[in-house]
Amino acid sequence: MSTIRAIRTDEDYENALERIQELLDVLSGDDGQIEDPEHPARTELDVLSDLVEHYEGKTVEIGYPDPVAAIQFRMDQVGLTPRDLVPFIGSRSKVSEVLSGKRAITMPMARALHQHLGIAADILLQQPGSRLPDATDDIDWTKFPLRAMANAGWIPSVQRLEDNAEDLVSALMQRAGVSSPSAAMLYRKNDHRRLNAKTDDYALQAWCWQVMAQARERVSIAPYTPGVVDSEFLRNVAQLSVDEHGPTKARTMLAQSGIGFEVVHHLPKTYLDGAAFLLDDGRPVIGLTLRYDRIDNFWFTFLHELAHVGLHLEEGGEDSAFVDDLSLRDVDKGSGDTREQQADEMAEEALIPRDVWVDSAVRQEPTPMRVLNSAHRWGVHPAVIAGRVRHERGNYRLLTQFVGTGEVRWQFEESQEAATT
């Protein structure tokens, strides 16, 4: 056996590779397999192989896969089309340019692709150990949508809003029960949020604070008891859908269980349907935007967020907040976090149990009469059945007469007016 030395230089490395090849030639038979594992040269081969592997681990840089190739691979894995990437990249033209290599991947794109498709930050940024920074690591108070917030009555409408931005937003934070921006960023380090890549995080945060503020200012009828929200609770809530005033009755039912529920108009660039989070006193709160004012959308979104209360909020932790653009529910199924899918399934089961839905006649052939008969038999509003059919088939022109467009928001506006008169 020749003298074995440590590999310290590239020349040592090349010499070791040559020697390994010589040893393989000595030890291998005609079929390429090592014939005699006990041959004295085998020890030298093993030692040299370990030394080479150690040297490569310290000095040889392993390249990262091309980020576009990684995106395309992930698309193939979960069956996505370029159109499905629009919420993460921004528009069809941007998607086309990114996939063709003509447009660089920006930090917001990378964050959205990482969160929703589970592509590693290292690959997207082409840097070992990369970390995707939080969207609001450094708060610029003037970036909050101050005029929109003032028009909505969330902050006072004063002159020179930007000059008073910190005081105005801090006052909203105080109403929401949070003491500092760092403690209030409900979605920081939160990879399970289901949001459009174009979301304005400042607008989103302002909306969350307004929901919390309203919930704190509303008199709670009862204390919250952990564990009260289970499958039976959700099913009882779902059965309120048959009532014309079911949405406001659902609010009362939640209040009696110590759970806050607020409807707050969405701000521009929030692309938001609903959210669930905890107040400073530990009470859970659900917030909805009703950006799609339909009965079917209300009940699924409401129960989805209520499912988060029962399944996830009591786990605690700094990421105990869920903010949802539910138009992405079929796009992010390949992400690593399963909590959104769990909430989807619990909501669907509460509205229409899977065992009655899978082989139902209305699912196979959704005629208007079958929608009405099934709704009566299962104890839910026809909009719930129409919404499930439309979603499963991806055809939102079906059964439009049942989905109840414009039949929800007015109930909360009416109740708000009654409360202030």
Helix (H) or strand (E) holding 206: helix 201-217
pLDDT at 126: 63
pLDDT of residue 188: 44
Look at the alpha carbons of 373, 378, 381, 386 in this order and tell me if their dihedral is positive or negative.
negative
C-alpha span between 305 and 277 (Å, rounded): 9
Measuring CA to CA, which residue among 135, 93, 129, 89 is closest to residue 109?
Answer: 89
pLDDT at 391: 94
In tens, the pLDDT along 262-319 reads 999 999 999 999 999 999 888 999 999 999 999 999 999 999 999 999 999 876 544 5
pLDDT (average), residues 90-119: 83
The 10s digit of each residue's pLDDT in 11-31 is: 888 888 888 877 777 666 554
CA 157, distance to chain mean position in Å, is 33
CB 119 within 8 A of CB 143: no
CB 315 within 8 A of CB 266: no
Q: What is the dihedral of CA 367, 373, 377, 379, to 10 degrees?
A: 80
Residue 131: what pLDDT?
53
Q: Are 300 and 340 in contact (CB under 8 A)?
A: no
The top-scoring range by mean pLDDT among 20-29, 153-162, 179-188 is 153-162
- Distance between CA 364 and CA 375 in Å, rounded? 15
Residue 273: name the closest of 294, 291, 248, 250 by CA: 291
Averaged pLDDT, 102-110: 79
Helix or strand run (H / E) with residue 346: helix 339-351
Averaged over 319-336, what is the pLDDT? Answer: 77
pLDDT at 47: 84
Mean pLDDT of the chain: 84
How far is Cα 325 from Cα 184, in angstroms, rounded to an integer?
A: 20
Residue whose structure tokens are 């929608």: 371
CATH for 67-125, options being 1.10.10, 2.60.40, 1.10.260, 1.20.1250? 1.10.260
Domain ranges within the chain, ordered by starting residue: 10-59, 67-125, 141-345
SS3 418: helix
Least confident of 86-90, 180-184, 391-395, 406-410: 180-184
pLDDT of residue 393: 93
Percent of the chain past pLDDT 70, that is, above it, reads 82
